[in-house]
């Protein structure tokens, strides 16, 4: 964690400690007031109302600490002071309140019990080294031992043995309290450090898991120096077979060639010392089209046209350099909001990308079906070697169909059944399945993309983009329309996001820069990456 992140965490935890102690103090104050009202006496020593009122001062002090740490930025030095005060202020009051109590109640043990609980609570909540916790504990309990000695000298006989006995007993139990809280702080602080290191990948700190697929796991991350939100895709060691590694490396190498604003940009790549491959890419704060339709229902034709135009333009750039996506589907198309455009599309996940030119071998087994059954073109089922740019257009037509109708082109009980439907069944026009009108020209274009034969589809992504633009029977989807949609859907999307929050399991991700430099040299020389051992 960077220094600012550590400072922010400390401020949050000091605030939490103050809040817990304040709640405990308020509960005690309520008990005191209730006992005084019910029995006509106060649990405070000597029944002093002035003592009870001084407790209110303690509560007010804790309240000020909480307010200060919740509002504005506190420096590390200020937080260190507030951390100590949150412990010392309540304990100082305890020493004052218990001084008049008779020896029969053993006030030193009451004080010891409260101090031990507070110090242990601090060790659990506040990020602190064992050394700092020990220092705070030694000061607190050192004062307690001195307080005990002078307290019992007031009540003891001329024989000093009882004073020594009480002092030694208090010191022994105080020592145990310091030891336990120090060990707790040391262990928890050490675990925090291990989690922090495990969640760091070079300059990237992993924050939360945001997706997972066959080619890896994606996390939201933050760059330590640029403070930029980033998405980091990992290929865990347990999935790092020879072919998977080669495919993962090819994905980042080929995707990094693309610069279209509708395609997620790649920033960095590398491999950790324990065999976890990763690459860092642009973070898109949006929602994939599959999740969006599931939450909000089918889309109007104007919006579908607007989305398909952006997707076709992005795919046109990929196809222009010989890259075929092969897994175009709603889940790989993210919709987000930008300052001057509320429906901005991003194409993601080139994990199954195929290079259509010489120099790149297809790393997939020719007998293996590659893609998602619901959006897989017929040629991918018959002969994967025939897959080309028009195969992406078939999948994009299936995406448009899904957006218009809220359901897939073909649905079946199994993947095999879906494959058969793609091969042999005619497509039901979306206007017959949608609850809304679908303009005829636009519907014909969608159906042409879903033609069984490649030659009957648009010849290229550029041709498809031109055809979509020429669909004059579809009204324009304006930025005002998009903004209104996002505003009306915001509560539902926020609720769904909070309900589907994902955690992540930390791993050690220290970057192997030697391997990375070697890979870069190989790439620069035009040679294929060396085969790596499966880890």
**CA separation for the pair 136, 138 (Å, rounded):** 6
Tokens 């104050």 sit on residue? 29
Smallest CA-to-CA distance from 397 within 346, 335, 328, 331 is with 328
Torsion of CA 296, 297, 303, 307, to 10 degrees: 90
| Helix, strand, or coil (residue 306) | helix
Task: Quote the tokens at residue 5.
Answer: 């992140």
Query: 417 — phi, psi (to 5°)?
Result: -65, -40
Q: How many CB atoms lie within 10 A of CB 500?
A: 8
**CA separation for the pair 303, 190 (Å, rounded):** 52
| Helix, strand, or coil (residue 512) | coil
10 Å CB burial of residue 357 (0-12, 13-18, 19+) is exposed
Sequence-separated contacts (24+) of 514-517 with Cβ below 8 Å: 515/270, 515/271, 516/269, 516/270, 516/271
| Helix, strand, or coil (residue 342) | strand
Among the listed residues 268, 288, 327, 349, the single catalytic one is 327
What angle (nearest 5°) sits at the alpha carbon of residue 425, between those of residues 465 and 370? 65
What one-character DSSP code corresponds to residue 60?
Answer: H
Task: Quote the tokens at residue 480.
Answer: 């005002």
Active site residue 327: yes
Task: Quote the tokens at residue 521.
Answer: 């040299």
By 3-state DSSP, what share of the chain in percent is helix, strand and coil, each rounded to 5?
60, 10, 30
> Do the beta carbons of residue 79 and residue 69 sit within 8 Å?
yes
**CA separation for the pair 368, 361 (Å, rounded):** 15
What is the β-pairing status of strands 229-235 and 333-338? unpaired
**CA separation for the pair 405, 297 (Å, rounded):** 8
**CA separation for the pair 406, 120 (Å, rounded):** 55
Smallest CA-to-CA distance from 83 within 144, 142, 22, 11 is with 11
* Residues contacting residue 355 through CB under 8 Å, at least 6 positions apart: 254, 322, 323, 324, 362
| Helix, strand, or coil (residue 201) | strand
Where residue 227 falls (left for φ over 0; alpha for ψ -120 to 50; beta otherwise) is: left
Catalytic positions are: 327
């Amino acid at each position: 964690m960077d220094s600012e992140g550590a400072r922010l965490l400390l401020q949050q935890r000091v605030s939490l400690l103050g809040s817990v102690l304040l709640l405990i103090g308020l509960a005690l104050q309520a008990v005191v007031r209730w006992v005084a009202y019910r029995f006509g006496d106060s649990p405070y020593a000597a029944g002093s109302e002035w003592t009870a009122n001084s407790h209110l001062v303690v509560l007010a002090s804790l309240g000020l600490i909480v307010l200060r740490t919740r509002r504005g930025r506190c420096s590390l030095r200020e937080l260190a002071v507030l951390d100590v005060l949150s412990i010392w202020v309540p304990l100082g009051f305890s020493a004052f309140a218990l001084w008049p109590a008779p020896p029969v109640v053993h006030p030193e043990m009451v004080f010891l019990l409260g101090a031990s609980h507070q110090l242990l609570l601090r060790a659990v909540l506040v990020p602190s080294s064992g050394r700092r916790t020990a220092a705070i504990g030694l000061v607190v309990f050192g004062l307690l031992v001195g307080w005990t000695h002078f307290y019992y000298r007031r009540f003891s006989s001329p024989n000093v043995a009882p004073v020594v006995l009480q002092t030694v007993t208090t010191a022994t139990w105080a020592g145990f309290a310091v030891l336990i809280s120090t060990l707790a702080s040391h262990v928890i602080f050490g675990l925090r450090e291990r989690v922090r290191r495990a969640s760091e990948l070079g300059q990237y700190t992993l924050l939360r898991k945001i997706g997972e697929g066959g080619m890896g796991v994606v996390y939201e991350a933050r760059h330590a120096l640029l403070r930029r939100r980033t998405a980091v895709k990992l290929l865990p060691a347990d999935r790092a077979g020879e072919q998977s590694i080669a495919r993962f490396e090819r994905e980042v190498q080929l995707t990094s060639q693309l610069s279209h604003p509708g395609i997620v940009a790649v920033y960095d790549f590398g491999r950790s010392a324990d065999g976890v491959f990763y690459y860092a890419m642009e973070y898109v704060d949006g929602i994939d089209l599959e999740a969006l339709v599931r939450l909000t229902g089918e889309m109007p034709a104007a919006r579908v046209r607007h989305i398909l135009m952006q997707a076709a333009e992005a795919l046109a750039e990929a196809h222009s350099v010989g890259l075929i996506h092969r897994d175009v589907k709603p889940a790989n198309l993210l919709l987000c909001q930008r300052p001057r455009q509320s429906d901005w599309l991003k194409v993601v996940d080139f994990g199954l990308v195929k290079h259509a030119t010489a120099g790149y071998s297809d790393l997939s087994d020719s007998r293996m079906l590659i893609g998602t059954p619901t959006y897989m073109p017929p040629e991918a089922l018959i002969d994967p070697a025939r897959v080309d740019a028009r195969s992406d257009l078939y999948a994009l037509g299936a995406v448009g169909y899904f957006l218009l109708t809220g359901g897939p082109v073909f649905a079946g009980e199994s993947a095999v059944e879906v494959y058969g439907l793609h091969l042999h069944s005619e497509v039901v026009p979306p206007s017959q399945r949608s609850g809304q009108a679908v303009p005829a020209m636009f519907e014909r274009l969608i159906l042409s993309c879903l033609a069984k034969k490649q030659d009957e589809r648009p010849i290229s992504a550029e041709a498809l983009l031109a055809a979509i633009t020429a669909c004059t029977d579809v009204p324009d989807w304006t930025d005002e329309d998009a903004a209104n949609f996002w505003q009306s859907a915001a509560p539902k999307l926020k609720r769904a996001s909070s309900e589907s929050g994902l955690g992540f399991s930390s791993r050690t991700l220290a970057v192997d820069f030697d391997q990375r430099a070697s890979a870069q040299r190989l790439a620069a020389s035009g040679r294929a990456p060396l085969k790596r051992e499966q880890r």
